[in-house]
Structure 1
Protein backbone atom coordinates (compact mmCIF):
# COMPACT_ATOMS: atom_id res chain seq x y z
CA UNK A 1 0.00 0.00 0.00
CA UNK A 2 1.18 3.50 -0.86
CA UNK A 3 0.81 6.05 1.93
CA UNK A 4 1.04 9.84 1.98
CA UNK A 5 2.69 11.48 4.98
CA UNK A 6 2.11 15.15 5.80
CA UNK A 7 5.06 16.30 7.87
CA UNK A 8 6.33 19.35 9.72
CA UNK A 9 9.70 19.89 11.33
CA UNK A 10 12.09 22.35 12.89
CA UNK A 11 15.19 21.87 10.77
CA UNK A 12 17.55 23.75 13.11
CA UNK A 13 19.61 20.76 14.25
CA UNK A 14 19.40 18.60 11.13
CA UNK A 15 21.57 18.23 8.03
CA UNK A 16 18.56 18.79 5.79
CA UNK A 17 15.82 16.51 4.54
CA UNK A 18 17.75 14.11 2.33
CA UNK A 19 19.26 10.87 3.61
CA UNK A 20 23.08 10.95 3.60
CA UNK A 21 25.79 8.33 3.92
CA UNK A 22 27.99 10.46 6.18
CA UNK A 23 25.32 11.17 8.81
CA UNK A 24 22.06 9.79 10.20
CA UNK A 25 21.00 13.26 11.31
CA UNK A 26 18.51 14.04 8.52
CA UNK A 27 14.72 14.30 8.54
CA UNK A 28 14.31 11.55 5.95
CA UNK A 29 16.74 9.34 7.86
CA UNK A 30 14.89 9.74 11.17
CA UNK A 31 11.51 8.88 9.64
CA UNK A 32 12.90 5.90 7.73
CA UNK A 33 14.55 4.63 10.91
CA UNK A 34 11.21 4.60 12.77
CA UNK A 35 9.29 3.03 9.88
CA UNK A 36 11.98 0.36 9.45
CA UNK A 37 11.64 -0.48 13.13
CA UNK A 38 7.85 -0.65 12.81
CA UNK A 39 7.91 -2.92 9.75
CA UNK A 40 11.04 -4.87 10.78
CA UNK A 41 12.49 -4.33 7.30
CA UNK A 42 14.42 -1.47 5.62
CA UNK A 43 12.04 1.28 4.47
CA UNK A 44 12.72 4.20 2.12
CA UNK A 45 10.47 7.23 1.69
CA UNK A 46 10.28 9.92 -1.01
CA UNK A 47 9.91 13.57 -0.04
CA UNK A 48 8.43 16.38 -2.12
CA UNK A 49 11.22 18.83 -1.35
CA UNK A 50 14.84 18.28 -0.34
CA UNK A 51 15.11 21.13 2.15
CA UNK A 52 18.65 22.26 3.05
CA UNK A 53 20.32 21.95 6.44
CA UNK A 54 18.60 24.27 8.90
CA UNK A 55 15.49 24.84 6.77
CA UNK A 56 12.09 24.19 8.34
CA UNK A 57 8.85 22.75 6.97
CA UNK A 58 5.21 23.17 7.84
CA UNK A 59 3.85 21.41 4.77
CA UNK A 60 6.36 18.76 3.66
CA UNK A 61 4.81 15.75 1.90
CA UNK A 62 6.29 12.28 1.51
CA UNK A 63 5.07 8.93 0.26
CA UNK A 64 6.06 5.42 1.26
CA UNK A 65 5.10 1.88 0.31
CA UNK A 66 4.42 -0.28 3.36
CA UNK A 67 3.18 -3.76 4.11
CA UNK A 68 1.49 -3.43 7.46
CA UNK A 69 -1.75 -4.29 9.20
CA UNK A 70 -1.72 -0.98 11.06
CA UNK A 71 -4.32 1.64 10.14
CA UNK A 72 -3.29 5.10 8.96
CA UNK A 73 -4.05 6.46 12.42
CA UNK A 74 -1.91 3.77 14.05
CA UNK A 75 1.02 4.43 11.69
CA UNK A 76 0.79 8.15 12.47
CA UNK A 77 0.63 7.48 16.22
CA UNK A 78 3.62 5.12 16.04
CA UNK A 79 5.71 7.63 14.12
CA UNK A 80 4.97 10.49 16.49
CA UNK A 81 5.69 8.31 19.52
CA UNK A 82 9.22 7.44 18.34
CA UNK A 83 10.23 10.51 16.31
CA UNK A 84 12.17 13.35 17.97
CA UNK A 85 9.99 16.16 19.31
CA UNK A 86 11.07 18.53 16.51
CA UNK A 87 9.63 16.25 13.79
CA UNK A 88 5.89 15.56 13.58
CA UNK A 89 3.69 13.64 11.16
CA UNK A 90 0.42 15.53 10.98
CA UNK A 91 -1.45 12.96 8.91
CA UNK A 92 -1.02 9.56 7.28
CA UNK A 93 -3.44 8.69 4.47
CA UNK A 94 -3.81 6.04 1.79
CA UNK A 95 -2.62 7.26 -1.62
CA UNK A 96 -3.10 6.08 -5.16
CA UNK A 97 -0.56 3.39 -6.15
CA UNK A 98 1.16 5.76 -8.60
CA UNK A 99 1.23 8.79 -6.28
CA UNK A 100 4.75 10.18 -5.92
CA UNK A 101 5.26 13.14 -3.61
CA UNK A 102 8.03 14.78 -5.65
CA UNK A 103 7.32 13.83 -9.26
CA UNK A 104 3.62 14.74 -9.14
CA UNK A 105 3.97 18.02 -7.21
CA UNK A 106 2.47 20.93 -9.18
CA UNK A 107 3.45 23.80 -6.89
CA UNK A 108 5.72 24.41 -3.90
CA UNK A 109 5.38 27.39 -1.61
CA UNK A 110 8.28 28.68 0.49
CA UNK A 111 8.36 31.65 2.82
CA UNK A 112 11.38 33.60 4.06
CA UNK A 113 11.21 35.89 7.10
CA UNK A 114 13.51 38.88 7.59
CA UNK A 115 13.61 40.95 10.79
CA UNK A 116 14.32 44.54 9.75
CA UNK A 117 13.56 46.50 12.91
CA UNK A 118 12.67 46.40 16.57
CA UNK A 119 14.30 44.29 19.24
CA UNK A 120 15.50 40.78 18.61
CA UNK A 121 12.95 38.12 19.53
CA UNK A 122 14.47 35.35 21.63
CA UNK A 123 11.64 32.92 20.95
CA UNK A 124 11.63 33.51 17.19
CA UNK A 125 15.41 33.50 16.74
CA UNK A 126 15.50 30.12 14.95
CA UNK A 127 12.90 31.14 12.38
CA UNK A 128 13.86 34.66 11.22
CA UNK A 129 16.93 36.31 9.74
CA UNK A 130 17.80 39.22 12.08
CA UNK A 131 19.01 41.68 9.45
CA UNK A 132 18.05 44.77 11.48
CA UNK A 133 18.26 47.09 8.45
CA UNK A 134 15.77 49.31 6.68
CA UNK A 135 15.13 48.03 3.15
CA UNK A 136 13.47 49.67 0.14
CA UNK A 137 10.45 47.39 -0.14
CA UNK A 138 9.20 49.13 -3.29
CA UNK A 139 12.46 48.42 -5.14
CA UNK A 140 12.39 44.82 -3.91
CA UNK A 141 8.88 44.33 -5.27
CA UNK A 142 9.96 45.77 -8.62
CA UNK A 143 12.86 43.31 -8.77
CA UNK A 144 10.60 40.43 -7.71
CA UNK A 145 8.28 41.13 -10.65
CA UNK A 146 11.18 40.49 -13.03
CA UNK A 147 11.81 37.08 -11.43
CA UNK A 148 8.23 35.88 -11.92
CA UNK A 149 7.70 33.65 -14.94
CA UNK A 150 9.63 30.87 -16.65
CA UNK A 151 13.36 31.52 -16.68
CA UNK A 152 16.70 29.76 -16.59
CA UNK A 153 17.63 30.28 -12.91
CA UNK A 154 21.19 28.98 -13.19
CA UNK A 155 22.49 32.23 -11.66
CA UNK A 156 20.45 31.44 -8.56
CA UNK A 157 21.73 27.89 -7.99
CA UNK A 158 24.64 26.91 -5.72
CA UNK A 159 25.23 23.59 -7.47
CA UNK A 160 27.99 24.36 -10.00
CA UNK A 161 27.87 20.78 -11.32
CA UNK A 162 24.15 20.87 -12.07
CA UNK A 163 23.61 18.80 -15.22
CA UNK A 164 19.82 18.82 -15.33
CA UNK A 165 17.74 21.72 -16.62
CA UNK A 166 17.87 24.85 -14.48
CA UNK A 167 14.68 26.23 -16.02
CA UNK A 168 11.90 26.77 -13.48
CA UNK A 169 8.64 28.71 -13.31
CA UNK A 170 7.85 31.10 -10.48
CA UNK A 171 4.13 31.88 -10.39
CA UNK A 172 4.23 34.52 -7.67
CA UNK A 173 6.58 36.34 -5.30
CA UNK A 174 4.72 38.22 -2.58
CA UNK A 175 6.44 40.67 -0.24
CA UNK A 176 4.66 41.76 2.93
CA UNK A 177 6.02 44.20 5.52
CA UNK A 178 4.56 44.45 9.01
CA UNK A 179 5.81 45.19 12.53
CA UNK A 180 9.47 45.37 11.56
CA UNK A 181 9.41 42.15 9.56
CA UNK A 182 9.42 41.38 5.83
CA UNK A 183 7.95 38.08 4.69
CA UNK A 184 8.71 36.93 1.15
CA UNK A 185 6.52 34.12 -0.19
CA UNK A 186 7.62 32.21 -3.30
CA UNK A 187 5.20 30.02 -5.26
CA UNK A 188 6.63 27.98 -8.15
CA UNK A 189 6.71 24.62 -9.88
CA UNK A 190 10.08 23.77 -8.31
CA UNK A 191 13.25 25.32 -6.95
CA UNK A 192 16.96 24.63 -7.45
CA UNK A 193 19.56 24.03 -4.74
CA UNK A 194 19.67 27.16 -2.51
CA UNK A 195 17.53 29.00 -5.10
CA UNK A 196 15.07 30.60 -2.67
CA UNK A 197 17.87 31.70 -0.35
CA UNK A 198 19.85 33.26 -3.23
CA UNK A 199 16.74 34.97 -4.63
CA UNK A 200 16.15 36.42 -1.17
CA UNK A 201 19.76 37.58 -0.85
CA UNK A 202 19.46 39.27 -4.24
CA UNK A 203 16.25 41.04 -3.25
CA UNK A 204 17.90 42.21 -0.02
CA UNK A 205 20.79 43.69 -2.02
CA UNK A 206 18.23 45.53 -4.16
CA UNK A 207 16.54 46.72 -0.97
CA UNK A 208 19.89 48.03 0.28
CA UNK A 209 20.55 49.85 -2.97
CA UNK A 210 23.55 47.66 -3.80
CA UNK A 211 21.77 46.34 -6.90
CA UNK A 212 19.16 47.96 -9.11
CA UNK A 213 15.88 46.22 -9.84
CA UNK A 214 16.70 46.60 -13.55
CA UNK A 215 19.79 44.43 -13.10
CA UNK A 216 17.69 41.28 -12.63
CA UNK A 217 17.30 40.73 -16.38
CA UNK A 218 21.07 40.76 -16.86
CA UNK A 219 21.63 38.42 -13.89
CA UNK A 220 19.21 35.90 -15.38
CA UNK A 221 20.78 36.13 -18.83
CA UNK A 222 24.34 35.74 -17.51
CA UNK A 223 23.66 32.32 -15.94
CA UNK A 224 26.53 32.96 -13.54
CA UNK A 225 26.15 32.45 -9.80
CA UNK A 226 28.58 35.33 -9.11
CA UNK A 227 26.12 37.84 -10.55
CA UNK A 228 23.33 37.13 -8.09
CA UNK A 229 23.14 38.11 -4.42
CA UNK A 230 24.40 36.36 -1.31
CA UNK A 231 22.84 33.21 0.14
CA UNK A 232 20.78 34.16 3.19
CA UNK A 233 20.89 31.93 6.31
CA UNK A 234 18.74 28.80 6.28
CA UNK A 235 16.91 29.55 9.50
CA UNK A 236 14.54 32.11 7.99
CA UNK A 237 13.18 29.67 5.40
CA UNK A 238 10.20 27.35 5.68
CA UNK A 239 8.52 25.01 3.18
CA UNK A 240 4.92 26.10 3.71
CA UNK A 241 2.96 23.91 1.33
CA UNK A 242 3.13 21.43 -1.55
CA UNK A 243 0.22 21.35 -3.98
CA UNK A 244 -0.86 18.53 -6.31
Structure 2
Protein backbone atom coordinates (compact mmCIF):
# COMPACT_ATOMS: atom_id res chain seq x y z
CA UNK A 1 0.00 0.00 0.00
CA UNK A 2 1.32 3.44 -0.95
CA UNK A 3 1.83 5.47 2.18
CA UNK A 4 -0.47 8.43 2.60
CA UNK A 5 0.58 11.96 3.53
CA UNK A 6 -0.20 11.92 7.28
CA UNK A 7 0.25 15.69 7.51
CA UNK A 8 -2.76 16.44 5.31
CA UNK A 9 -6.37 16.49 6.48
CA UNK A 10 -8.49 13.58 5.27
CA UNK A 11 -12.23 13.55 4.70
CA UNK A 12 -14.64 10.73 3.91
CA UNK A 13 -17.23 11.61 1.25
CA UNK A 14 -20.38 9.78 0.21
CA UNK A 15 -19.98 10.66 -3.46
CA UNK A 16 -18.49 9.11 -6.56
CA UNK A 17 -14.93 10.40 -6.91
CA UNK A 18 -13.57 11.16 -10.38
CA UNK A 19 -11.13 13.56 -11.99
CA UNK A 20 -12.47 17.11 -12.24
CA UNK A 21 -15.50 16.50 -10.03
CA UNK A 22 -16.66 19.36 -7.80
CA UNK A 23 -18.58 18.21 -4.72
CA UNK A 24 -20.64 20.49 -2.52
CA UNK A 25 -19.81 19.82 1.12
CA UNK A 26 -22.81 19.35 3.39
CA UNK A 27 -23.35 21.83 6.18
CA UNK A 28 -21.62 19.76 8.86
CA UNK A 29 -18.58 19.04 6.67
CA UNK A 30 -18.30 22.68 5.60
CA UNK A 31 -18.40 23.86 9.21
CA UNK A 32 -15.77 21.29 10.14
CA UNK A 33 -13.44 22.24 7.30
CA UNK A 34 -13.78 26.02 7.57
CA UNK A 35 -14.43 26.72 11.24
CA UNK A 36 -12.86 23.76 13.05
CA UNK A 37 -9.86 22.94 10.85
CA UNK A 38 -9.54 26.59 9.71
CA UNK A 39 -8.96 25.63 6.09
CA UNK A 40 -9.27 28.42 3.56
CA UNK A 41 -9.67 29.04 -0.15
CA UNK A 42 -7.33 26.84 -2.19
CA UNK A 43 -6.16 24.71 0.73
CA UNK A 44 -5.60 21.04 -0.08
CA UNK A 45 -6.94 17.91 1.58
CA UNK A 46 -7.28 14.20 0.86
CA UNK A 47 -10.70 12.64 0.26
CA UNK A 48 -11.91 9.04 -0.09
CA UNK A 49 -15.20 7.14 -0.23
CA UNK A 50 -14.15 3.52 0.32
CA UNK A 51 -14.41 2.49 -3.33
CA UNK A 52 -12.70 5.03 -5.62
CA UNK A 53 -9.28 5.34 -4.02
CA UNK A 54 -7.88 8.48 -2.42
CA UNK A 55 -7.83 11.87 -4.11
CA UNK A 56 -6.01 15.13 -3.67
CA UNK A 57 -8.62 17.87 -3.52
CA UNK A 58 -8.78 21.65 -3.35
CA UNK A 59 -11.17 23.62 -1.16
CA UNK A 60 -13.33 26.33 -2.70
CA UNK A 61 -14.87 28.50 0.02
CA UNK A 62 -18.20 30.09 -0.94
CA UNK A 63 -19.39 31.35 2.46
CA UNK A 64 -18.81 31.22 6.21
CA UNK A 65 -20.33 27.76 6.32
CA UNK A 66 -20.31 26.72 2.70
CA UNK A 67 -17.67 25.27 0.42
CA UNK A 68 -17.09 22.87 -2.43
CA UNK A 69 -14.36 20.26 -2.86
CA UNK A 70 -12.66 20.07 -6.24
CA UNK A 71 -10.89 16.82 -7.05
CA UNK A 72 -7.42 17.35 -8.52
CA UNK A 73 -5.87 13.89 -8.98
CA UNK A 74 -5.96 10.38 -7.60
CA UNK A 75 -3.02 9.77 -5.26
CA UNK A 76 -3.81 6.20 -4.19
CA UNK A 77 -5.71 3.51 -6.04
CA UNK A 78 -8.40 1.62 -4.18
CA UNK A 79 -7.12 -1.29 -2.13
CA UNK A 80 -8.97 -4.33 -0.83
CA UNK A 81 -8.35 -5.31 2.78
CA UNK A 82 -8.07 -8.87 3.99
CA UNK A 83 -11.58 -10.30 4.30
CA UNK A 84 -11.73 -10.49 8.10
CA UNK A 85 -15.06 -9.70 9.72
CA UNK A 86 -15.09 -8.72 13.37
CA UNK A 87 -18.01 -10.10 15.40
CA UNK A 88 -18.45 -8.94 18.98
CA UNK A 89 -20.83 -8.80 21.91
CA UNK A 90 -21.72 -5.08 22.35
CA UNK A 91 -20.21 -3.08 25.20
CA UNK A 92 -21.29 0.16 26.83
CA UNK A 93 -20.74 3.35 24.82
CA UNK A 94 -17.22 4.53 25.65
CA UNK A 95 -15.63 1.08 25.46
CA UNK A 96 -17.66 0.18 22.36
CA UNK A 97 -16.40 3.35 20.64
CA UNK A 98 -12.82 2.38 21.46
CA UNK A 99 -13.29 -1.21 20.29
CA UNK A 100 -14.85 -0.16 16.99
CA UNK A 101 -12.04 2.30 16.29
CA UNK A 102 -9.35 -0.27 17.07
CA UNK A 103 -11.02 -2.94 14.91
CA UNK A 104 -10.95 -0.49 11.99
CA UNK A 105 -7.28 0.32 12.62
CA UNK A 106 -6.49 -3.40 12.72
CA UNK A 107 -7.98 -3.92 9.26
CA UNK A 108 -11.39 -5.50 9.89
CA UNK A 109 -13.44 -5.60 6.67
CA UNK A 110 -16.81 -5.48 8.46
CA UNK A 111 -18.15 -5.24 12.01
CA UNK A 112 -21.22 -7.00 13.38
CA UNK A 113 -22.69 -6.86 16.90
CA UNK A 114 -23.67 -10.32 18.17
CA UNK A 115 -26.10 -10.76 21.05
CA UNK A 116 -25.15 -13.50 23.51
CA UNK A 117 -26.66 -14.76 26.76
CA UNK A 118 -24.30 -12.60 28.85
CA UNK A 119 -24.30 -9.48 26.64
CA UNK A 120 -24.78 -6.44 28.90
CA UNK A 121 -25.74 -3.84 26.27
CA UNK A 122 -29.08 -4.78 24.74
CA UNK A 123 -29.18 -2.01 22.11
CA UNK A 124 -26.59 -0.86 19.59
CA UNK A 125 -26.48 2.56 17.94
CA UNK A 126 -25.37 1.64 14.42
CA UNK A 127 -25.12 5.29 13.34
CA UNK A 128 -22.69 5.94 16.18
CA UNK A 129 -20.73 2.84 15.20
CA UNK A 130 -20.52 4.03 11.59
CA UNK A 131 -19.37 7.48 12.71
CA UNK A 132 -16.57 5.85 14.71
CA UNK A 133 -15.63 3.68 11.73
CA UNK A 134 -15.34 6.74 9.47
CA UNK A 135 -13.43 8.78 12.04
CA UNK A 136 -10.90 5.97 12.52
CA UNK A 137 -10.50 5.57 8.76
CA UNK A 138 -9.94 9.32 8.32
CA UNK A 139 -7.33 9.46 11.06
CA UNK A 140 -5.39 6.34 10.10
CA UNK A 141 -5.05 6.64 6.33
CA UNK A 142 -7.46 3.79 5.64
CA UNK A 143 -9.29 3.86 2.30
CA UNK A 144 -11.17 0.53 2.54
CA UNK A 145 -13.96 1.50 4.91
CA UNK A 146 -15.39 -1.46 6.89
CA UNK A 147 -19.09 -2.11 6.69
CA UNK A 148 -21.33 -1.97 9.76
CA UNK A 149 -23.66 -4.99 9.75
CA UNK A 150 -26.97 -5.46 11.53
CA UNK A 151 -26.93 -7.09 14.99
CA UNK A 152 -27.76 -10.80 15.16
CA UNK A 153 -28.26 -13.19 18.01
CA UNK A 154 -25.48 -15.76 18.25
CA UNK A 155 -27.96 -18.60 17.79
CA UNK A 156 -29.44 -17.09 14.62
CA UNK A 157 -26.03 -16.21 13.23
CA UNK A 158 -24.68 -19.72 13.66
CA UNK A 159 -27.90 -21.30 12.44
CA UNK A 160 -27.79 -19.39 9.16
CA UNK A 161 -24.03 -19.46 8.61
CA UNK A 162 -23.84 -22.38 6.19
CA UNK A 163 -26.42 -20.78 3.89
CA UNK A 164 -25.36 -17.14 4.18
CA UNK A 165 -21.56 -17.43 4.10
CA UNK A 166 -20.46 -21.05 3.69
CA UNK A 167 -16.83 -20.31 2.70
CA UNK A 168 -16.06 -18.16 5.74
CA UNK A 169 -14.28 -19.72 8.72
CA UNK A 170 -15.23 -18.47 12.17
CA UNK A 171 -12.39 -18.05 14.68
CA UNK A 172 -14.01 -18.38 18.08
CA UNK A 173 -11.92 -16.72 20.79
CA UNK A 174 -12.56 -19.13 23.65
CA UNK A 175 -11.33 -18.10 27.09
CA UNK A 176 -11.86 -21.69 28.27
CA UNK A 177 -9.71 -23.29 25.56
CA UNK A 178 -7.24 -25.78 27.07
CA UNK A 179 -4.28 -24.47 25.10
CA UNK A 180 -2.85 -21.00 25.79
CA UNK A 181 -1.11 -20.50 22.45
CA UNK A 182 -3.25 -19.50 19.44
CA UNK A 183 -0.37 -19.44 16.95
CA UNK A 184 -0.25 -23.19 16.33
CA UNK A 185 -3.86 -23.31 15.12
CA UNK A 186 -3.58 -20.06 13.17
CA UNK A 187 -0.41 -21.27 11.44
CA UNK A 188 -2.18 -24.50 10.47
CA UNK A 189 -5.01 -22.49 8.90
CA UNK A 190 -2.51 -20.24 7.09
CA UNK A 191 -1.05 -23.31 5.38
CA UNK A 192 -4.44 -23.91 3.75
CA UNK A 193 -4.18 -20.64 1.83
CA UNK A 194 -6.25 -17.42 1.86
CA UNK A 195 -9.86 -17.71 2.93
CA UNK A 196 -12.55 -15.35 4.23
CA UNK A 197 -12.55 -15.20 8.02
CA UNK A 198 -14.55 -13.91 10.95
CA UNK A 199 -13.26 -13.34 14.47
CA UNK A 200 -15.75 -13.68 17.34
CA UNK A 201 -15.16 -12.04 20.74
CA UNK A 202 -17.59 -12.74 23.57
CA UNK A 203 -19.10 -10.48 26.25
CA UNK A 204 -17.51 -9.40 29.50
CA UNK A 205 -19.15 -12.34 31.27
CA UNK A 206 -17.88 -14.81 28.68
CA UNK A 207 -19.84 -17.30 26.61
CA UNK A 208 -22.28 -19.58 28.35
CA UNK A 209 -21.63 -23.32 28.34
CA UNK A 210 -24.56 -23.74 25.96
CA UNK A 211 -23.04 -21.20 23.56
CA UNK A 212 -19.59 -22.80 23.76
CA UNK A 213 -21.10 -26.19 22.97
CA UNK A 214 -23.02 -24.72 20.02
CA UNK A 215 -19.90 -23.10 18.59
CA UNK A 216 -17.67 -26.11 19.07
CA UNK A 217 -20.16 -28.36 17.30
CA UNK A 218 -19.90 -26.43 14.01
CA UNK A 219 -17.54 -27.62 11.25
CA UNK A 220 -16.80 -24.03 10.19
CA UNK A 221 -15.68 -22.95 13.69
CA UNK A 222 -12.08 -22.99 14.92
CA UNK A 223 -11.63 -22.25 18.65
CA UNK A 224 -8.51 -20.29 19.55
CA UNK A 225 -7.22 -19.12 22.95
CA UNK A 226 -5.97 -15.61 23.71
CA UNK A 227 -3.19 -16.50 26.11
CA UNK A 228 -3.04 -17.34 29.82
CA UNK A 229 -4.82 -14.19 31.07
CA UNK A 230 -8.46 -13.12 30.93
CA UNK A 231 -8.67 -10.02 28.73
CA UNK A 232 -11.25 -7.28 28.71
CA UNK A 233 -13.41 -7.49 25.61
CA UNK A 234 -11.93 -4.35 24.04
CA UNK A 235 -8.38 -5.55 24.72
CA UNK A 236 -9.26 -8.98 23.32
CA UNK A 237 -10.32 -7.32 20.06
CA UNK A 238 -6.86 -5.85 19.54
CA UNK A 239 -5.05 -9.02 20.64
CA UNK A 240 -7.11 -11.32 18.42
CA UNK A 241 -6.99 -9.16 15.31
CA UNK A 242 -3.24 -8.63 15.73
CA UNK A 243 -2.58 -12.36 15.74
CA UNK A 244 -4.97 -13.06 12.89
CA UNK A 245 -3.57 -10.29 10.69
CA UNK A 246 0.00 -11.43 11.37
CA UNK A 247 -0.69 -15.05 10.42
CA UNK A 248 -3.71 -15.03 8.08
CA UNK A 249 -4.21 -11.42 7.05
CA UNK A 250 -2.51 -8.74 4.99
CA UNK A 251 0.44 -7.86 7.25
CA UNK A 252 2.73 -10.18 5.35
CA UNK A 253 1.55 -9.22 1.87
- Whether TM exceeds 0.5 here: the answer is no
Q: Give the TM-score of the pair, scaled to structure 2.
A: 0.26
Report 1 or 2 for greater relative contact order, CA contacts < 8 Å, sequence distance ≥ 6: 1
